[in-house]
Amino acid sequence: MPRYSYGGQALIEGVLMRGRDAIAIAVRHPDGRIVWATERLDSGVHGTRWSRLPLIRGLVVLYETLFVGTRWLVRSASIQAAGTGEEGDEGVELGKTSIALMLGLTLLFGIGIFFLLPLLIASATTANIQNGLVQHLVEGLIRVAIFLGYLLLIARAEDVRRVFQYHGAEHMTIHALEAGDPLVVNEVRKYPTAHPRCGTEFLVVVIALSIIAFSLVGRQDPAVMIGSRIALIPVIAAVGYELLKWGAKHRSNPIVRAIMYPGILVQMITTRQPSPDMIEVAIVSMEQALSADGEALPAGSGALARDALILPGSRADVGETAAPVTIDPPLPGA
């Protein structure tokens, strides 16, 4: 069993696995091959003692997950588009500024829809009620309804359902790794698609914490209530990360399991049973993440065929011999 708790996310026809110091991605190329790449995690504070401090570490992980995950989500979509031969799609690549702009707009949209909109609706519908707790309860219920409704809506799309299948394959592979099983399809298929360290469960924890935190603010002037929602988001996210880690570590406790169970239920929406070929992609991603961190593969693993991903503009892309792609310098000993 590895010394680090591995996590990940689903991509377009692929999976990203996040290790101690590096990430690895594996994607099912339109021609049927599994292609992979690794990238060193380097957010500027990664690996420093500050990044390991409680509360701060959650924000570091969240930043790296959002920035790196968004970049590879775009790249995975580009791989699929280029493989279909659609004119103009090959070689799509976004720079750091474009990724930052995309993330900024997405976060603004998310804050507006999931934090400010419930506040405005609750304030309008409970304006004649003196008890401020009623407003916060209504606000929390609206936030939950928007969150679940959004997930149920996007889950109806075929492309999103496939992403949710890869999400399930990611979780099943992590379960197998943590159990010390060989990373092969038959072993991975034994495990559930839900996992206690899932990002979906993190969002459920954040929503629950937001109801508590905003109720403490109480009914104030509209500007104060709006400002408190925005200002408290990083605090809630940091605390939510710590609770998620603690809950995953103590999941054998029946009380903890009951408290965290809503997060498992919501994963029934965001994960689906994957096909064997999807599990293969998740396995390759995990194996490459382990190798990038210098970890040994579980016995019986490493049998799946794979090819290094050739990114547009690389030397291999212009005719030279392909080599395993690493976006940043390789890790020591990797």
Residue 84: per-residue pLDDT: 55
pLDDT band at residue 261, thresholds of 50, 70 and 90?
very high
More confident residue, 256 or 129: 256
Mean pLDDT (the chain) is: 85
Q: What is the pTM of this model?
A: 0.85
Residue 328: per-residue pLDDT: 37
pLDDT band at residue 334, thresholds of 50, 70 and 90?
very low
Residue 276: per-residue pLDDT: 97
Residue 314: per-residue pLDDT: 47
Cα-based distances in Å from 92 to 15, 78, 81, 100, 104:
19, 6, 9, 16, 20
More confident residue, 5 or 151: 151
Residue 83: per-residue pLDDT: 64
Average pLDDT over residues 307-330: 49
Residue 331: per-residue pLDDT: 36
Average pLDDT over residues 78-88: 65
For the stretch 44-57, pLDDT in tens is: 677 778 878 888 98
Instruction: Using a pLDDT cut of 70, give the percent of the chain over it.
Output: 87
For the stretch 269-290, pLDDT in tens is: 999 999 999 999 999 999 999 9
Instruction: Using a pLDDT cut of 90, give the percent of the chain over it.
Output: 58
For the stretch 181-193, pLDDT in tens is: 999 999 999 999 9
pLDDT band at residue 316, thresholds of 50, 70 and 90?
very low
pLDDT band at residue 93, thresholds of 50, 70 and 90?
low
Per-domain residue ranges for the chain?
A: 7-318
Residue 238: per-residue pLDDT: 94
Average pLDDT over residues 80-89: 58
Average pLDDT over residues 8-37: 94
For the stretch 191-234, pLDDT in tens is: 999 999 999 999 999 999 998 998 888 778 888 889 988 999 99
Res. 2: pLDDT tops 70: no
Residue 135: per-residue pLDDT: 85
Res. 322: pLDDT tops 50: no
